[in-house]
Structure 1
């Protein structure tokens, strides 16, 4: 037995070969490096590759030839195979083959119709899909935009507002998401709406909200409502075009006049506080009136030896400073008293002041204004007394670009000066006059666009910037700015409510516009406030926890139209109900006797049924069919209730009964509605009603089937007369099938299978236990004719019923699921 050599033997043999090579002396030993070895290898490989294909063919011929295949002939056959299309005809149709031509045309027409139907279906499906997505996105976009704070113009404050939104969501864990300020305002809104609904004289909304401000004990908030009280206290005329009214001379004069009145009263209050804080230096005395009040104020503020003051003193007080501060307090009579005491030094100015006082809008006649302007340009402009220059500019509307910084130290003073210098004669053709004048529109553009929020450091001084915008007649911009400050948003919303009820707000044409927007045709300085968005943005915070309060705010939108033309109040109510799911509290509920218990919506005496039906429609469109059934029932739309219930019942019809399941819940709701409709009547169509009660009976049939009561189940099915149990009834039942609704047709496959399974169960039972054959025959009115007690007769009876069902299923003009017929036939085969 040979032994395989080990590693040591191999090593010894290799060493022996090496020694033999070294000992050979005939030929020298060749030495090569790695590069030379690689070149030699590549050269040998190239030689081998040239004959590789031929050797491959030779090897293939040898291999296949040994098995009886001829390789050249096989190659020829493969190359000659036709690549004709599968659906091409094997032989062309002859021109005289009319039958073939017609058959071909018919098939082509069918194929074309099928392809066109498929294409149309695909396009329609895609169109509806994108339409549904667009509608859903539009709703979500509205929610997102309403949740966002601001108009999108101030990106710098966006993070601060985002944090405030987050803090709001965290604080909503309590019973209410509203703070004490919001609740106080909400109580006033409730009382106001209640008064509006009851009819009669409406209370003053601005006074009601001012009461809230006074109770808050916040001086800044009190001043906000004092400003609003002044700005709304103007004569309003019923105008369908608020833009033309706001840009008209009459309303502009009224707004500016109220703004001046507020600034003058607040400055007089400031003077009084200054005096009472320094009574010793003021030397007020006991005589009332603005004359002595201003004189005491100047004792504190302006030393008599101040350089640059002209035209002497009146009662020891510089005359022009005395006049200026009397006018600044709004007391022109006091100013005239000062002027009369120094008229020998003032030239024609006393006559100018008297005319200024006697005019309706504090304006001189054209001739006197021209004279005063000329005098100002010649001498007054370059005088050293800043008070004299300021008084001339105010009385004659001179030099509106002059800031008068020596006199107007605060923003209030600057604003008061500019408002006094406004011109309302926009139609003047004098170019030089126009250049030397300032209109309210120009002042608005300067405050909002040229200076803007950064100049006034608005977010550090929000009350000041709000005052600037409001008193220059920019009501919408003022509300928009204040609403972007989270802690002041509630005040902004209720200022907007006040102005909206006064019909003073400019609203955009679309409720989908930004919070603050500008139409293309609007003049410069005019902005529009999206009041609807402001309300929905405000209520978003607390509508989940305080839906009743949100409902009160939505009532202000009752006259606004949504994009689809529906009432925005109703749309907001619908969304509120769907978001909060407080159906009973908001919309009411249906009692057992069919009467509806009122909900919160009934307080507004609107068309409650229409609102409920709109909510039901929105609910149905969102696929919430169970909620939609309850809402349609609440709105007394009985036919829609039955229609949706039929769609719901058919989905759970064949399921096995189970506590707390969808089927159990739907069954209880359907039975409750059926009992009430039978007792009280309803307005549903015959088709939906008959389908509804048939589906309820079929549900009973399936419950008996799943609970192991086949005899009762088959009896129930026979009473329904839906299926044929004899061959004579097949044609009748097939014809009746055409009159059933789609819900019944969809349930038929499951009904057939369940009935066949019951027959097969009875068949197996009678086969294994024939003792009950006689009783089963008697129970069905049959007579046993055999000695086996009727067993065979009953089996034949079951087989005939199964055959009737199979025949019925085959004759139905309805495409059932693919496995239904197969399972029916399989069960019948098992019974035979």
Structure 2
């Protein structure tokens, strides 16, 4: 078929279509069709397949989607979600009822939340206490030096003591001698006598120990602590500025070396220093040993004579040897004389320093170099090993080079001993006395005492050295009693440490505070000037911890410290150990009140009530007795039980109240009297004395006899304290049981009119008790309501 034929057929078809229906003629070129196709494709790809499917779906259902979109855009949600006008509830009765119920529910929820928070707080506090106790026990068991700030409180380690045997003393004979001497010292202080020097007393006491090294330590400590005036400021800061510590340490080394020189020369020249030095030098230096010594006097080496004259503290002898050597040494002799007189000649010193720098520094005479360095302070870092053969010689030379008030060089010497050399260099574990003496001679008492305290054999000496220095005001105490045994304060001169005297004494005393309580109190008394983090006196805090930690059932420590009551009189206590320490700052009453507060916080109300009474706080004593009575008043009496003990206490307090011996608040007195009456009521009830019990109950006016009495009784109940209200459910049940028993007794009788009348009264009383229980403003236990219903039904 050719193209012409095809065109003709197409025209025929076109004509037929026009004839059948009138449709608009669409004439598009191929380019227009291509353009429309492209636009349709781009529109489809932009809207996405899901939107196209939505258009198809909604279009098949007859929904015009473009129009729908326009309608949705025209909608406004502004008025839809506006708040509606609140219409007030006109039902006042219902409104008030709802408010009342909501208030009750809110109070219940708040109470429940508070109880839960309080229980969690107490649980975490108890757990924290147990962990702190364990951590403190572990740290106190360590023997290594502690110099980090660790805030831990010392907590007790429980000890079980057999009450049927007398405790043996835990103090050995040496510790007992120390304790007796400390007791005597405290007794002098308490009598307002003159304060003796405790260091001197202990030093004199050490001579009876039979240990020469121990005697030397105490003698050294007594020597270096002889200051002209007591330190009024911080001991750590004042120690570097006071020249006495350097002077006394140097004098001690000189006296000890003089004794050594006498021992070497036979002791025949002890009274003549000139002859002693000559004899010692003659013995020490032979002809072959004088090689290198440049100057002589009388065929003897000059500078060894001068050095050993200075070394044994005989400055005048050194000057005499210099003057015998000739006029060439007059300037040096004058320098030594001026130094001995406490004077300074700057001109001569400058000339001699220049002479040392030009000639003597390179001299072969080691003794001459040493003497120049000692007196002029030249070459402070020079060791002078040929002259200084021992630690004592080295320390003496370094101390002699320090000018009065030269805190910098003094601190450098202390740092060299403690930090640069330290325990390892001095082999301190094998030679503890040597290391202690080195620290003490350089004014580092705290580090020396802490080092001794780490050794079991020397711990007792360390404790008493610390106490003696503290009493003299020379011990650098820690800023807080909760710090480690040895600590560093950044504001203190380096390298001085601070010693926690409280921790040291408590670690020492806790071993025998139960067996030797009297001695323990005297050790704690030395802490009377310190405060704990709560601001309490440390002496009272230690005694308080001792009493509180002694246990709930063991009252031996209580009776020992505060005295034991002899009769019903509240003031009739025999003398306790604490009474000997009474002073204007604290007395037995104050101590008893503090211990009572601690015991009350721990829940030991029985002993806290006794101590509150001793402290004169009778309201608190009665309060805690009432709390205990509320728990046991309804129980039967058993031998040795808490109820029996409280019954005796209640009788004694009742006698005191009747005689007006004590003054308490009326409300507290009324609560106590009611509880004591209820105690007697339950005694009658358990003994089967029903009539006596009812008579006593009627006197209290706590229970109604008829329904008319219910309102009056409830009005009285609202004025009662919480302790009495807690007992009321048991009282109601007991009253109902007594009524039921009496009813059964009458029911088995003859049935006379009198008995019937009495039975009617008993039923009225039972009904009144039930009405009271139902209208109580407090919620009764379910068991109580159930029991009351059973008893009342049994009477019908």
Length-normalised TM-score, structure 1: 0.77
1:369, distance to aligned residue in structure 2 (A): 3.0
**Per the alignment, do residues 203 and 275 of structure 1 end up closer, same or farther by CA in structure 2, a change over 3 Å counting?**
same
Q: Conserved in 2, the CA contact under 8 Å of 1:343 and 1:350? A: no
Tell which has more relative contact order, 1 or 2 (C-alpha 8 A, sep 6+). Answer: 2
1:523, distance to aligned residue in structure 2 (A): 2.2
**Per the alignment, do residues 175 and 540 of structure 1 end up closer, same or farther by CA in structure 2, a change over 3 Å counting?**
same
1:289, distance to aligned residue in structure 2 (A): 1.1
- Separation of aligned partners in 2, 1:287 and 1:524: 41
- Deviates most, 711-720 or 617-626: 711-720
What does the per-residue CA deviation read over 1:546-583, in whole Å, with 9 as the maximum and x for residues that have no partner? 11111111111112111111111111121222344412
Q: Conserved in 2, the CA contact under 8 Å of 1:717 and 1:723? A: yes
**Per the alignment, do residues 562 and 121 of structure 1 end up closer, same or farther by CA in structure 2, a change over 3 Å counting?**
same
**Per the alignment, do residues 762 and 287 of structure 1 end up closer, same or farther by CA in structure 2, a change over 3 Å counting?**
closer
- Separation of aligned partners in 2, 1:732 and 1:681: 34
- Separation of aligned partners in 1, 2:668 and 2:107: 34
**Per the alignment, do residues 113 and 823 of structure 1 end up closer, same or farther by CA in structure 2, a change over 3 Å counting?**
closer
SS at match of 2:526: helix
Q: How many residues of Structure 1 are paired with residues of Structure 2 in the alignment?
A: 688
Say whether residues 1:568 and 2:558 are aligned partners.
no
- Deviates most, 194-203 or 572-581: 572-581
SS at match of 2:629: helix
- Separation of aligned partners in 1, 2:756 and 2:620: 51
Say whether residues 1:320 and 2:284 are aligned partners.
no
Within a 5 Å distance, the mapping from 1:44-123 to structure 2 comes to 98=89, 118-119=112-113, 122-123=116-117
Within a 5 Å distance, the mapping from 1:718-797 to structure 2 comes to 718-768=698-748, 770-771=749-750, 788=752, 790-797=754-761
In structure 1, the residue matched to 2:566 is 591
**Per the alignment, do residues 677 and 178 of structure 1 end up closer, same or farther by CA in structure 2, a change over 3 Å counting?**
farther
Say whether residues 1:577 and 2:547 are aligned partners.
yes
In structure 2, the residue matched to 1:542 is 512
| One of 218, 227, 232 as aligned partner of 2:220 | 227
- Separation of aligned partners in 2, 1:673 and 1:709: 25
1:819, distance to aligned residue in structure 2 (A): 2.2
In structure 2, the residue matched to 1:699 is 679
- Separation of aligned partners in 2, 1:750 and 1:817: 10
Q: Conserved in 2, the CA contact under 8 Å of 1:475 and 1:505? A: yes
Say whether residues 1:667 and 2:651 are aligned partners.
no
| One of 294, 301, 308 as aligned partner of 2:284 | 301
Say whether residues 1:507 and 2:490 are aligned partners.
no
1:262, distance to aligned residue in structure 2 (A): 0.4
Within a 5 Å distance, the mapping from 1:85-484 to structure 2 comes to 98=89, 118-119=112-113, 122-123=116-117, 125-127=119-121, 129-130=123-124, 134=128, 151-152=145-146, 175-237=168-230, 239-248=232-241, 251=242, 253-276=243-266, 288-344=271-327, 346=329, 348-359=331-342, 364-423=344-403, 439-484=409-454
Q: Conserved in 1, the CA contact under 8 Å of 2:322 and 2:330? A: no
Q: Conserved in 1, the CA contact under 8 Å of 2:236 and 2:493? A: no
Within a 5 Å distance, the mapping from 1:638-677 to structure 2 comes to 638-677=618-657
- Separation of aligned partners in 2, 1:121 and 1:551: 40
- Separation of aligned partners in 2, 1:637 and 1:95: 59
Aligned CA RMSD, in angstroms, stands at 3.1
Q: Conserved in 1, the CA contact under 8 Å of 2:681 and 2:697? A: yes
1:315, distance to aligned residue in structure 2 (A): 4.3
- Separation of aligned partners in 1, 2:362 and 2:248: 32
1:594, distance to aligned residue in structure 2 (A): 3.3
- Separation of aligned partners in 2, 1:322 and 1:196: 50
- Separation of aligned partners in 2, 1:238 and 1:94: 82
SS at match of 2:292: coil
| One of 613, 621, 631 as aligned partner of 2:611 | 631
Q: Conserved in 2, the CA contact under 8 Å of 1:705 and 1:754? A: yes
**Per the alignment, do residues 572 and 398 of structure 1 end up closer, same or farther by CA in structure 2, a change over 3 Å counting?**
same
Say whether residues 1:807 and 2:771 are aligned partners.
yes
**Per the alignment, do residues 743 and 141 of structure 1 end up closer, same or farther by CA in structure 2, a change over 3 Å counting?**
farther
Say whether residues 1:685 and 2:665 are aligned partners.
yes
In structure 2, the residue matched to 1:5 is none
Q: Conserved in 2, the CA contact under 8 Å of 1:151 and 1:514? A: no
In structure 1, the residue matched to 2:75 is none
5+ long unaligned stretches in structure 2: 1-83, 149-156, 551-555
- Separation of aligned partners in 1, 2:516 and 2:527: 18
5+ long unaligned stretches in structure 1: 1-92, 155-164, 428-437, 774-787
